[in-house]
Amino acid sequence: MGRWPVAAVVALVGGLLLTPARPAAVAAEAPARTHCTFTAAIALVPGLSVVPSSGTFSSGGETGTVACDGPVRGIVPTGPGTLGVEGRYGTKDPDTCFGGEGEGRFSFTFPTATGVGKRSNVFTFSFSLVGLSGSGFSGEGFGGGFDDVEPEDGDCVVHPVTKLVVKGHGTITSQ
């Protein structure tokens, strides 16, 4: 009887040592993150300059592009899609080219294995047309940044910027 408990313990310990360990990340099943990139031309009314203002912005429908590497709120895109944005800037106080904030709604449409997928959500943002430090956007379950913002109409000093092209990236952190 004295050998059975020792043999059982040795077999149990040996079995545990030889069984591959399951990584903690697999056991916890961390949520998958989807990364997206986008480009959109956006009109601003009345426009941004060195004189503070508040106004609206719009891409004029889904005229931009978006590409994601995974599910978007539960739907898996099979290719790039179209993106539209609209909203208001200068919502806390009037904005200039040197910085501001706002809120809006984006919508996009993309192909899926079963047809067309559509998603839409609200977001808040902060920006500076003079250096992108501190520029970005967020909403429920997602966030991101602006990689490049190029004025197309206006120069901020003599003429207000009334159209710009925004390129950026975002991550969906919860589906």
| Model confidence pLDDT, tens digit, residues 137-152 | 999 999 999 998 999 9
Token representation of residue 26: 């697999």
Q: For 38-86, how does the pLDDT look when each residue is reduced to its tens digit (9 = 90+)? A: 999 999 999 999 999 999 999 999 999 999 999 998 889 999 999 999 9
Per-residue buried b or exposed e for 1-29, using 16+ beta carbons within 10 Å of the residue's own CB: eeeeeeeeeeeeeeeeeeeeeeeeeeeee
Write down the pLDDT at residue 61.
98
- Predicted confidence at residue 16, as pLDDT, reads 30
Average pLDDT over residues 151-164: 96
Share of the chain above pLDDT 90, in %: 72
Question: What is the model's pLDDT at position 132?
Answer: 65
Separation of alpha carbons 150 and 52, rounded Å: 19
Q: Which residues contact 145 (CB under 8 A, 6 or more apart)?
A: 132, 135, 136, 137, 168, 169, 170
pLDDT at position 4 is 35
Q: Over the stretch 111-121, which tens digit does the pLDDT of each residue have? A: 999 999 999 99
d(CA 35, CA 114): 21
Which DSSP symbol is given to 12? Answer: H
Section 161-175 average pLDDT: 93
What's the rounded Cα separation, in Å, for the pair 171 and 36?
A: 6
Strands 136-139 and 55-58: what pairing? unpaired
